[in-house]
Amino acid sequence: MAITLACIAAAYVFVMAWWQSRGTSHYRPADLYLTRLMDVAIAAWLFWIGSSIGSFLNVVAWRMPRNQSVNGRSYCPRCSTRLKARDNFPVFGWLALRGRCRTCRLPISPRYPIVEAAVGISITLVGIAEIYRLSLPYQDQHWHGGPLWIPIVDQAMLLTLLYHVIAIAMSWAIGLIRMDGHPLPRRLSGTAAVMLIGGMLIVPSVMTVPWQMQVSARWRGDGLYFDALMRVITALVAATFLGRCLARGLCIGADPKLDPLGKSTIRLVDLITMIAVPALVLGWQSLPAVLVVGACIALALGRVLPSSTDMLGRFAIAMPITLCLSILLWRPLHAAAFWPSDGSSPWVLLAAAALLLITPTWLRERQTLEGQSLPFDEPNDHDSAAADSTVSKN
């Protein structure tokens, strides 16, 4: 695997340098090897950070619903052996062990490297898009050909990227726990609220887009603390309202007034929580369209996830995927006439909202599996004992 990745990286450096230098006499391919090697280093570093976060989220998804501490060294629950550092390496540690515990040789669930890889890839793509100024609206752009294809890093960009990485990680954590059929722990919801709401109120520049419908083309969020507060309020109101709209399919029977502690009501609260994350990051204007895309991805995930995974679990795991795609395509979507955003026609927003209202007709819950753990593989007597034979590092 390492040799394959090294060959891919080398091919990128040499082929891209040749492609960017063709047709010009100002520089040779050798002049661009170092800048293209910088691309590889940035991508590798982002994947390492992202997959490490995914490794920690495996711990969160397993321990937090069971009221266990997420601190402490990782160990094999079967033989209680602490994992060695090389075995805890995200993705590649599992591959090196060939999916088995080094000590007791029981199988290790493939869920762990899958989650690590998925989180790592999502954070890597978002990081590259933002560091190279490819994705965010209201951001200065630069030409991405030849030697000028280099990252532009400043404080505002780093803070925005950090905010988005936190949001993506929180969305993945919510999705993994809800996919397993567990109600969201209050600790996780509270942590997400403090970091996402507090982060936006403290650093308004992470808003990226305004909460209003019409602003100047040179709008910037720096120092707009009142606007940040309004952005938070409108995002939470939109998440609550649209969550109630989707409840007709995902949380049938939810009644916060007559049955505030019922299972359906808890599912509704979890649904609003998972919707609030993209609402805070992307803004209330595009939220209806984002949820429609998420509903379509949830349907497609039915071919990948076990049939025992309920529809709310599929929708929950679709949310971080949709959030990443929305950030990656944010600039072209923001400029598109068909996508609801600030500056869009009211009819575009109404059309997206109307489309969302009919999604419960196909995004309808078939079964409720509260409190049941649903691993990626169908469990059997052997796998159910060994599926958690290791947990990723914290």
Name the residue type at position 183: P
Full pLDDT tens readout for the chain, 394 residues: 678 888 898 998 888 888 888 877 778 888 888 888 988 999 999 999 999 999 999 989 988 998 888 877 777 667 777 777 777 788 888 887 777 877 787 787 888 899 999 999 999 999 999 998 889 998 776 656 556 677 878 888 999 999 999 999 999 999 999 999 899 999 999 999 999 999 999 999 999 999 998 888 788 888 899 999 999 999 999 999 999 999 888 888 887 777 777 788 899 999 999 999 999 999 999 999 999 999 999 999 988 888 778 899 999 999 999 999 999 999 999 999 999 998 888 999 999 999 999 998 888 765 444 434 333 333 333 333 333 433 444 4
Give pLDDT, residue 366: 57
Residues 17/10, Cβ–Cβ less than 8 Å: no
Separation between Cα atoms, residue 249 and residue 340, nearest integer Å: 23
Q: What does the H/E/C string look like for 37-68?
A: HHHHHHHHHHHHHHHHHHHHHHHHHHHHHHCC
Give pLDDT, residue 108: 78
Alpha helices in 258-380 (DSSP H): 263-282, 287-301, 311-328, 330-335, 346-358
Residue 344 per-residue DSSP state: -
* pTM for this model (two decimals): 0.88
Give pLDDT, residue 3: 82
Q: What residue segments make up the domains of the chain, in order of their start?
A: 197-367
User: Looking at the DSSP assignment, which residues form a beta bridge with residue 107?
Assistant: 100
Give pLDDT, residue 374: 38
